[in-house]
Amino acid sequence: MRIKVNRDKCTGCRLCLQICTIEHFREINPKKAALRVEAKFPDPGKYRPFVCTQCGKCEEVCPEGAISRVASGAYIVDKDKCTNCGECVPACPVGVVFRHPDHDFVIICDFCMLCTELCNTGALVKWERAASQEAKEA
Partner 1 sequence: MANGLAGTTLRINLNTGDIRRLPTDEVLYRRWHGGRGITAKILYDEVPRDADPLGPKNIFIVNAGIMSGCYIPAGSKVEFGSVSPLTNGPGDSNMGGHLGPTLKFAGYDLIIFEGVSPKPVYLFIDNETIELRDASGYWGLKSLDCEKKLKDDLGEDFEIATIGPAGENGILFSCITHDFGRQAGRTGQGAVMGSKKLKAIAVRGNKSIQVKDLDSLEKQVTGIILRTQKHPNMVPWQKYGTAFFIQWSNANAVIPAYNFQTTFYEDIDKIDGDQLVEKCLITDKACFGCWMNCGKYTKAVIPGKPEVHLEGPEYETGSLCGSNLGMKDINHVAYINWLLDNLGLDSMSGGGVIAFAMECFQRGLIKEQDLEGHTLKWGSVDDVEHFLDMVAHRRGVGDWFAGGTKRAAAKIGRGSEKFAMQVKGQEMSGYDGRWAPGMLLSYMTADIGAHHNRSWTITVDMAEGRERVEGRAKIVVYLQHIRPLFDTWCICRLFWGELDITPEEIVESLNHITGWGISVDQALRTSEMIWNLNRCHYMERNRDNGRAFDYPPARAWEDKIPSGPGKGKGLSLAQIDQMLDEYYAARGWDKKGNPTRELLQDLGIDYAADNLEKLGFLGEPIPGGIPPVRGEKYKPKAF
Residue 8 as a binder of partner 1 (CB under 8 A): the answer is yes
6 interacts with partner 1 by CB under 8 A: no
Assess 102 for contact with partner 1 (CB under 8 A): yes
Mark the segment that binds partner 1 (CB under 8 A) among 23-31, 58-66, 78-86, 128-136.
23-31
Among 104, 123, 106, 127, CA closest to 16: 123
Of 18 and 68, the one with the shorter C-beta distance to partner 1 is 18
- Whether the CB-CB separation of 53 and 2 falls below 8 Å is answered with yes
| Angstrom distance (rounded) from CA 29 to CA 31 | 5
Strand partners, 3: 126
- Report residue 15 CA to chain centroid gap: 14
Q: Is the Cβ–Cβ distance between 87 and 63 less than 8 Å?
A: yes
103 lies in the site for partner 1, by CB under 8 A = no
Rule CB under 8 A: choose which of 1, 15, 55, 61 binds partner 1: 15
**Residue placing its CB nearer to partner 1 in the complex, 62 or 123:** 123
- Determine if 116 is a binding residue for partner 1 (CB under 8 A): no
Q: Is the dihedral of CA 71, 72, 78, 82 positive or negative?
A: positive
Give residues in contact with partner 1 (CB under 8 A): 8, 11-15, 18-19, 21-22, 25-32, 38-39, 41-47, 100-102, 117-118, 120-121
